[in-house]
């Protein structure tokens, strides 16, 4: 755990430079606008520890899969969002000495992410090896209003000298991913162009071994503006060209005590959104527009967009500034990562803040992120998350075919970029099939929240039928049990692999079948034409399929221990040595200290599994049942997934156990800010941030939605004076204010 | 399946060149002497499809492990026996045209492995592009009498011309493994030396990232002799030096119709057996001796050694020449691979015939190979196989410690070179722990066969106690079953992973504990001093440990279905859809046609699992029990491991089902000769060859040994006129002759 970030309500502040934590700070101070994102790297050269990261949404490469022993059905490649052209770079040399925070003396330093308006600001004073003291103030943002543009305002002020600065702003496409196999680089240069103080660099992803994978072209542009004493100046641009690199060199006179301001206007255009053959031309127009608006206007527009966002989704916590900072930090990053403008995009586990997990889509999106966007954004945002999976339906069907399924059964991939499976551990890829349940559940969740039943008819039902077909083929009749069983699965608790009858998976399969049958009835009745068309397209055999589904719904095996009154995570769970987490304190985290077999045969649970089911389908279970299962499973849960504590917070609140709920809550609220797990340098836990939001709103706030009807049942954690949150439902924006006296719900 | 090898009782013959099968033929015609081995490559350059393979026993490299997702406890490297200096090379140019069977016209061709005396002979007539016709006769062997030496007699006869040959015999250390990661080469040159017609090349394995892995130095030497018209000639040697390469160039006049004979005497000395600093000197002496003995004498010695071997272990089958060839082929390769001279060596799955599986040691050795060497060689051969594991005991204890075990518990690695685990699939590495049982059982097997009870006291018991300690920690008490259970294992049937209570594993654990307790009693009574010493060294707590073991023996859970009268392969087996292999004919082999999850949840069995236990511990089970289990499991068995059919042959014979037994037998007897599985080009299935031998001797021959008492209960497969085999026990060599009239046992 680290504690070097200053607690503040609206800002993430590094006061005084911490080079030893620089890679962490870069993650924390990442900026994004849903279309592009950028780690909190310095503009000028930095020879210390750093992880450069510039990402363009939707741009990826099929990296070679690393695997020891191949299994049939493994994916050929691992799709990963790749580091793209570095557009922030501005190298600075002052009277012949290169500016590099790793080598000069730092007299003062402050780096600050302002979450209120999404800007990253740095102010520092430095003493160079030649004794020159200089102040650097840089500010930048990725515009929410113009989501292919990023702007930098970089000011140099000589404090004790007059002299000359050599300034080299550049675009550098010669970048690589830290996690690429054998340091392979993924980009090739297509071309570059210079015109006055404008430069354009077009890079294209390499041709891969896979024909069906598109190559992406990204054109980055930059245009420079300079001010001295508030007046624009026009220094001579000397182009600097290298392979995959274009820059300008400027000589600027520096006046003692006066700022020289360097403004860099940039854009990053992807072939995903622009015809590649016209991309440079388009970039020129785009950049011209941006440039003429100017930094201040652009910043104003950007700030306004952030205001709108905060207006809808701020959470205010009084009496606990660390908690306040934590929750805003989570909301801020979620809003930066995904804006819901483009149904081809999704939410990578690290968003735009690092390379880990390849920026691909997991079931996190449906299970954790969807509720956040449902409540905090226009319904089209959540809808686009569903459309994303609908668009991938054909690939999910093909994926299931590879595994031996037929008749339009779909198995969605565990991790994906374009709908194809990218994961290659058999116990996950082939067996962690409960993801299919979460994708079905998200459809229900969306319709329940928005009332948009038309979605069911247009898109949802097709997905539901394909998933139900999968479940119906995936179970088999056990003569021994006289029940349908589901063999060889991995549940949400990945500390069990290849188990039989995972209660959660069986439950979600049963639920999906039931919801699909209901949905068929609904669409049949309300949109008969559509049903006719759809059932023909899907070759749906109502007699056979519906009967089989009904039978499975009735006869699926759901393991339980009646004596204890608990559902059993899987067959044989009670054969384990049942222990509590408290008994193995010195062995934690077990995923670092124990071998995999020891983890597997232990009773310890990585993240909510039975309890995840009781959270999703809470109306099916009584409080007593919830209590018995919570008391049985929670003490065995090590929460070694960042997605675990939030579900426990919500359930603990429901059980009135506020202290326990709060204990769970603090584990994730500042997970990245305090670098709890020593992994923030890999990037932020974006998807688990949505869980933290849920812990507040659905946990402490007790928010529930039932067919569009919203209700609250708030509690106030000890130590908080008050809190309030805003959620939108239908056309209403509600503010829930909770304090020691009680709570009120205000329609805004 | 292929069918291009001529059926012959003693020879493996390729009549007419089959370039499309050349890599297979190279595997089939591999030579070895336990110390070095060599695939059946051509001496002269061959630009067609080929896999060069020269192996020196015990010389390996820690190649980088390929893995997708790392788990704690995975090995750092994969030890592999590496391709070493090519010592057979003789490049030939005739009047300026290079001899290359891929480019010249082949007028006749015959390649022949003579199993009677372990020689590889080739005779071919070729027409070169210049119209010259030439006959090549080459013969070579790896001497059994001088096991660091290999000899080649290479004769060139011009048929329709007189001219000149440029002959370049060489040693080439610039070799690589086909399966190395990214084509990495493992050898560096230490030095080379030339003296007259002698040359020496010393290569050293590269320094690896692992400090504890030794570097091996191998010195190869060659010395040349030439004959024309039966007279030795002495052409001028021109040294040819390249990096990692030393050769000589000779100009030889060719006389029409006369053979020019090139004899190449070579040696390969490893630092495993010779002080590296004196290795070149030693090689010179060694080669000098060999050279002066001359090819004929060396061949005579070598032939005599093979005679001795066949004298002890030949199997003769009359009336089925294909079966005769098959069984001798198996015996021949087993004898070439392991001679039992050196307890540091073991039996790689491919022996010296290919790279696959890295030449490392599996449980195949104990379960399949040991019985072969027990019956066909001096008892010290089998003893050295046990000593090998005793030597690795400390590493097995460390391996168990990594996984969380303590108190001297040992888990032997799944695959190993030096005692360290090299495998990295968690379901195998960490869970296929039944290998420990086979290693314990082999101790019993050896003592039962040889009566060498002293071995128990000196070595065996220490291993048994360490393994028993492992079992005692690996089980846990199930409150639900009121039994000891063993969770999370993979049995011999690797088409099930991470199952609970694999019957075979639990049975072998129980057996080991019982045998260890008996052995302790025996050693206590017969070697009290040794017991005192050993129990002190092991910190053996008789009260605690013996009681615990007794309790486990009594209360271990052995799943069964009493109604069917069968033991259950594992918990939940009866939840599967029970089908017979015949129902999925078009899906076979399932390991190529099905995804892994489909294989796992199916009932289909890769190789004997429950039946393996009934084979090992046959005295525990009645014929009725065997029959019920055989009838239940055999129809579900796909035999997709080459180790599977032999056990079924033996059991089927016991049940009097000779036809079934024969059906199983033919699957393996010519597995490589006919390339059943399309994988002979990777090398031969050496360890499964021992299974084929067992199928004849223990299956058809009904051989059993009980405390040194040998018995036979032979049957004659239909289609065989008669067969006979020889086995040694104690000081006796017995020949069992079986024909249609009956059988007789002759003491030789």
B736 located within any domain? no
| Rounded distance between C-alpha atoms, residue A215 and residue B553, angstroms | 63
Residue A65 has pLDDT above 90, yes or no: no
Mean pLDDT over B521-536 rounds to: 97
B676 located within any domain? no
Q: What is the DSSP string of B629-679?
A: HHHHHGGGB---STTHHHHHHHHHHHTT-HHHHHHHHHHHHTTTTTTTTS-
A747 located within any domain? no
List B432, B494, B496, B681, catalytic entry: B494
pLDDT of residue B77: 87
- The answer to whether residue A597 neighbours chain B at the CB level (below 8 Å) is yes
pLDDT of residue B63: 87
Test mutation, B431, B502, B601, B632, chain A, max A CBs within 10 A: B601
- The verdict on a CB contact (< 8 Å) between B73 and A596 is yes
pLDDT of residue A167: 98
Average pLDDT for chain B: 96
- Summarised one tens digit per residue, pLDDT across range A216-234 is 999 999 999 999 998 999 9
Q: Are B293 and B286 in contact (CB under 8 A)?
A: no
pLDDT of residue A287: 98
Smallest Cβ–Cβ distance between A404 and the set B402, B572, B594 belongs to B594
- Summarised one tens digit per residue, pLDDT across range B405-453 is 999 999 999 999 999 999 889 999 999 999 999 999 999 999 999 999 9
- The verdict on a CB contact (< 8 Å) between A598 and B404 is yes
Q: Read off the tokens for A737.
A: 């204010």
Task: Report the share of chain B in percent with pLDDT over 90.
Answer: 92
Grade residue B174 by pLDDT with cuts at 50, 70 and 90: very high
What lies within 8 Å, CB to CB, of B735 at 6+ separation is: B724, B725, B726, B745, B746, B747, B748
Residue numbers of A between 6 and 65 with CB closer than 8 Å to B: 65
Smallest Cβ–Cβ distance between A68 and the set B66, B431, B497 belongs to B66
pLDDT of residue B546: 97
Test mutation, A182, A601, A602, chain B, max B CBs within 10 A: A601
pLDDT of residue A530: 97
Q: What is the DSSP string of A486-523?
A: --SB--S-TTS-SBS--HHHHHHHHHHHHHHHHHHHHH
- The verdict on a CB contact (< 8 Å) between A575 and B500 is yes
- Summarised one tens digit per residue, pLDDT across range B450-490 is 999 999 999 999 999 999 999 999 999 999 999 999 999 99
Residue B210 has pLDDT above 90, yes or no: no
Mean pLDDT over B80-99 rounds to: 96
pLDDT of residue A497: 97
Kindly provide the residue ranges of all beta strands, DSSP E only, lying in A398-515, ordered along the sequence: 476-478, 483-485
- The verdict on a CB contact (< 8 Å) between B487 and A426 is no
- The answer to whether residue A578 neighbours chain B at the CB level (below 8 Å) is yes
From chain B, the residues in CB contact with A563 under 8 A are none
From chain B, the residues in CB contact with A598 under 8 A are 403-404
Mean pLDDT over B161-165 rounds to: 96
- The verdict on a CB contact (< 8 Å) between A498 and B500 is no
From chain A, the residues in CB contact with B431 under 8 A are 597
Sign of the dihedral through C-alpha B541, B542, B547, B549: positive
- Summarised one tens digit per residue, pLDDT across range B618-656 is 999 999 999 999 999 999 999 999 889 999 999 999 999
Residue numbers of B between 360 and 419 with CB closer than 8 Å to A: 402-404
Dihedrals phi, psi of B415, to nearest 5 degrees: -140, 140
A270 located within any domain? yes
- The verdict on a CB contact (< 8 Å) between B571 and A574 is no
Residue A635 has pLDDT above 90, yes or no: yes
Grade residue B181 by pLDDT with cuts at 50, 70 and 90: confident
For residue B620, the tally of other CB atoms under 10 A from its CB is 11
Grade residue B247 by pLDDT with cuts at 50, 70 and 90: very high
Q: Read off the tokens for B487.
A: 């969770």
Residue numbers of A between 208 and 227 with CB closer than 8 Å to B: none
| Rounded distance between C-alpha atoms, residue B499 and residue A270, angstroms | 49
Residue A17 has pLDDT above 90, yes or no: yes
Mean pLDDT over B539-546 rounds to: 95
- Write down the pTM of the prediction: 0.94
Dihedrals phi, psi of B608, to nearest 5 degrees: -45, 130
From chain A, the residues in CB contact with B590 under 8 A are none
Q: Are A94 and A165 in contact (CB under 8 A)?
A: yes
Sign of the dihedral through C-alpha B378, B382, B385, B386: negative
- Summarised one tens digit per residue, pLDDT across range A90-146 is 999 999 999 999 999 999 999 999 999 999 999 999 999 999 999 999 999 999 999
CA distance B705 to chain A (A): 38
CA distance B579 to chain A (A): 12
Mean pLDDT over A672-696 rounds to: 93
- Summarised one tens digit per residue, pLDDT across range B682-705 is 999 999 999 999 999 999 999 999
Q: Which domain holds residue A33?
A: 12-313
Average pLDDT for chain A: 96
pLDDT of residue A472: 98
| Rounded distance between C-alpha atoms, residue B510 and residue B687, angstroms | 27
Smallest Cβ–Cβ distance between B68 and the set A66, A497, A575 belongs to A66
Closest chain B residue to the Cα of A574, Cα to Cα = B480
Grade residue B179 by pLDDT with cuts at 50, 70 and 90: confident
A188 located within any domain? yes
Smallest Cβ–Cβ distance between A575 and the set B403, B478, B597 belongs to B478
What lies within 8 Å, CB to CB, of B746 at 6+ separation is: B734, B735, B736, B737
- Summarised one tens digit per residue, pLDDT across range A462-511 is 999 999 999 999 999 999 999 999 999 999 999 999 999 999 999 999 99
- The verdict on a CB contact (< 8 Å) between B476 and A425 is no
pLDDT of residue A75: 87
pLDDT of residue B526: 97
B265 located within any domain? yes
B547 located within any domain? no
Test mutation, B69, B473, B575, chain A, max A CBs within 10 A: B575
- The verdict on a CB contact (< 8 Å) between A72 and B476 is no
Smallest Cβ–Cβ distance between B595 and the set A73, A480, A577 belongs to A73
Residue A67 has pLDDT above 90, yes or no: no
- Summarised one tens digit per residue, pLDDT across range B547-586 is 999 999 999 999 999 999 999 999 999 999 999 999 999 9
- The verdict on a CB contact (< 8 Å) between B594 and A402 is no
Residue numbers of B between 422 and 451 with CB closer than 8 Å to A: 424-427, 430-431
Mean pLDDT over B296-323 rounds to: 96
- The verdict on a CB contact (< 8 Å) between B487 and A572 is yes
pLDDT of residue A72: 86
Grade residue B215 by pLDDT with cuts at 50, 70 and 90: very high
Grade residue A66 by pLDDT with cuts at 50, 70 and 90: confident
From chain B, the residues in CB contact with A487 under 8 A are 572, 575-576, 600-601
pLDDT of residue A88: 98
**Burial, A70: exposed, middle or buried (Cβ in 10 Å; 0-12, 13-18, 19+)?**
exposed
Smallest Cβ–Cβ distance between A67 and the set B68, B498, B598 belongs to B68
Task: Report the share of chain B in percent with pLDDT over 70.
Answer: 100
User: For residues A261-297, b (16+ Cβ closer than 10 Å) or e, as one string?
Assistant: bbbbbbbbbbbbbbebeebbebbbebbeebbebebee
- Summarised one tens digit per residue, pLDDT across range A521-578 is 999 999 999 999 999 999 999 999 999 999 999 999 999 999 999 999 999 999 999 9
Residue B600 has pLDDT above 80, yes or no: yes
Smallest Cβ–Cβ distance between A601 and the set B73, B488, B598 belongs to B488
Mean pLDDT over A81-86 rounds to: 95
End-to-end CA distance of chain B: 39
Q: What is the CATH number of the domain that holds B258?
A: 2.70.98.40
- The answer to whether residue A574 neighbours chain B at the CB level (below 8 Å) is yes
pLDDT of residue A728: 96
pLDDT of residue A63: 87
Mean pLDDT over B499-507 rounds to: 98
What lies within 8 Å, CB to CB, of A422 at 6+ separation is: A65, A75, A77, A78, A79, A358, A360, A413, A414, A415, A416
B398 a catalytic residue: no
- The verdict on a CB contact (< 8 Å) between B476 and A404 is no
B699 located within any domain? no
pLDDT of residue B333: 98
User: For residues A226-255, b (16+ Cβ closer than 10 Å) or e, as one string?
Assistant: bbbeeeeeebebeebeeebbbbbbbebebe
User: Comparing A748 with B17, which gets the higher pLDDT?
Assistant: B17
Smallest Cβ–Cβ distance between A67 and the set B66, B403, B574 belongs to B66
pLDDT of residue A71: 85
The angle that helices A658-669 and A686-694 make with each other, rounded to 10 degrees, is 150
* Least confident segment among A54-68, B259-273, B542-556: A54-68
| Rounded distance between C-alpha atoms, residue B95 and residue B530, angstroms | 73
CA distance B646 to chain A (A): 26
Site of tokens 């140099």: A156
CA distance A35 to chain B (A): 30
Comparing CA positions, the residue from B444, B442, B414, B445 lying closest to residue B427 is: B414
CA dihedral A646, A647, A651, A653 (to 10 degrees): 10
Domains identified in chain B, total number:
1
SS (H, E, C) A279-332: HHHHHHHHHHHHHHHHHHHHHHHHHHHHHHHHHHHCEEEECCHHHHHHHHHHHH
Residue B69 has pLDDT above 90, yes or no: no
pLDDT of residue A296: 97
Total CB pairs under 8 A between chain A and B: 126
């Amino acid at each position: 755990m680290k504690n070097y970030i200053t607690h503040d309500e609206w800002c993430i502040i590094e006061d005084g430079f911490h080079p030893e934590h620089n890679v962490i700070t870069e993650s924390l101070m990442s900026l994004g606008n849903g279309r592009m994102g950028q780690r909190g790297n310095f503009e000028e050269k930095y020879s210390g520890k750093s992880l450069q990261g510039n990402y363009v949404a939707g741009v990826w490469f099929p990296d070679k899969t690393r695997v020891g022993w191949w299994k049939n059905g493994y994916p050929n490649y691992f799709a990963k969002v790749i580091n793209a052209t570095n557009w922030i770079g501005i190298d600075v040399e002052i009277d012949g000495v290169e500016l590099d925070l790793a080598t000069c003396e730092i007299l003062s330093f402050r780096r600050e992410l302002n979450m209120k308006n999404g800007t990253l600001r740095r102010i520092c004073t430095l003493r160079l090896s030649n004794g020159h003291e200089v102040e650097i103030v840089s500010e930048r943002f990725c515009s929410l209003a113009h989501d292919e543009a990023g702007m930098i305002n970089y000011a140099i002020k000589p404090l004790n000298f007059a002299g000359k600065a050599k300034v080299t702003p550049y675009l550098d496409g010669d970048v690589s991913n830290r996690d690429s196999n054998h340091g392979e680089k993924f980009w090739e240069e297509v071309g570059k162009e210079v015109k006055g103080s404008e430069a354009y660099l077009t890079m294209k992803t390499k041709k891969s071994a896979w024909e069906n994978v598109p190559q992406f072209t990204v054109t980055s542009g930059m245009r420079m503006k300079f001010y001295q004493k508030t007046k624009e100046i026009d220094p001579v641009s000397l182009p600097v060209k290298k392979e995959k690199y274009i820059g300008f060199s400027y000589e600027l006179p520096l006046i003692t005590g006066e700022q020289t301001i360097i403004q860099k206007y940039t854009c990053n255009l992807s072939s995903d959104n622009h015809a590649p053959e016209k991309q440079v031309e388009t970039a020129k127009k785009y950049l011209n527009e941006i440039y003429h608006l100017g930094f201040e206007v652009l910043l104003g527009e950007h700030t306004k967009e952030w205001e709108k966002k905060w207006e809808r989704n701020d959470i205010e916590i009084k009496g606990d500034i660390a908690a306040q900072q934590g929750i805003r930090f989570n909301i801020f990053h979620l809003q930066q990562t995904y804006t819901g403008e483009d149904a081809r995009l999704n939410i990578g586990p690290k968003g735009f803040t690092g390379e880990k997990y390849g920026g691909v889509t997991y079931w996190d999106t449906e299970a954790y992120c969807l509720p956040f966007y449902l409540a905090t954004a226009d319904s089209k945002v959540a809808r686009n998350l569903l459309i994303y999976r609908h668009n991938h339906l054909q690939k999910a069907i093909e994926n299931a075919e590879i595994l031996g399924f037929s008749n339009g059964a779909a198995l969605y991939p565990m991790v994906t970029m374009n709908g194809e499976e990218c994961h290659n551990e058999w116990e996950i890829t082939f067996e962690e099939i409960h993801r299919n349940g979460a994708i079905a559940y998200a459809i229900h969740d969306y319709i329940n929240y928005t009332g948009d039943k038309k979605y069911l008819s247009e898109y949802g039902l097709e997905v539901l039928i394909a998933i139900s077909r999968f479940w119906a083929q995936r179970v088999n009749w056990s003569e021994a049990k006289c029940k349908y069983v589901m063999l060889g699965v991995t549940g949400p608790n990945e500390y069990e692999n290849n188990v039989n009858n995972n209660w959660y998976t069986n439950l979600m399969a049963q639920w999906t079948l039931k919801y699909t049958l209901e949905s068929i009835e609904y669409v049949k009745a309300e949109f008969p034409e559509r049903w006719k068309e759809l059932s023909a397209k899907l070759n749906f055999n109502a007699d056979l399929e519906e009967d089989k589904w009904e039978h499975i719904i009735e006869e699926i095996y759901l393991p339980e221990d009646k004596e204890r009154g608990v559902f059993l995570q899987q067959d044989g769970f009670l054969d384990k040595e049942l222990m509590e987490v408290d008994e193995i304190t010195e062995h934690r985290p077990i995923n670092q200290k124990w071998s995999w077999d020891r983890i597997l045969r232990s009773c310890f649970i990585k993240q909510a599994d039975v309890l995840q089911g009781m959270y999703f389908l809470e109306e099916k279970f009584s409080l007593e049942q919830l209590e018995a299962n919570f008391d049985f499973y929670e003490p065995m849960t090590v929460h070694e997934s960042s997605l675990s504590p939030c579900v426990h917070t919500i359930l603990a609140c429901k059980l009135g156990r506020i202290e326990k709920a709060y204990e769970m809550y603090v584990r994730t609220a500042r997970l990245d800010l305090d670098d709890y797990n020593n992994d923030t340098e890999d990037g932020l836990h974006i998807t688990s941030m949505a869980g933290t939001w849920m812990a507040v709103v659905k946990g402490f706030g007790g928010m529930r939605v039932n067919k569009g009807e919203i209700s609250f049942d708030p509690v106030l954690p000890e130590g908080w004076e008050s809190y309030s949150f805003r959620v939108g439902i239908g056309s209403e924006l509600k503010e829930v204010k909770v304090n020691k006296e009680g709570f009120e719900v205000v329609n805004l």
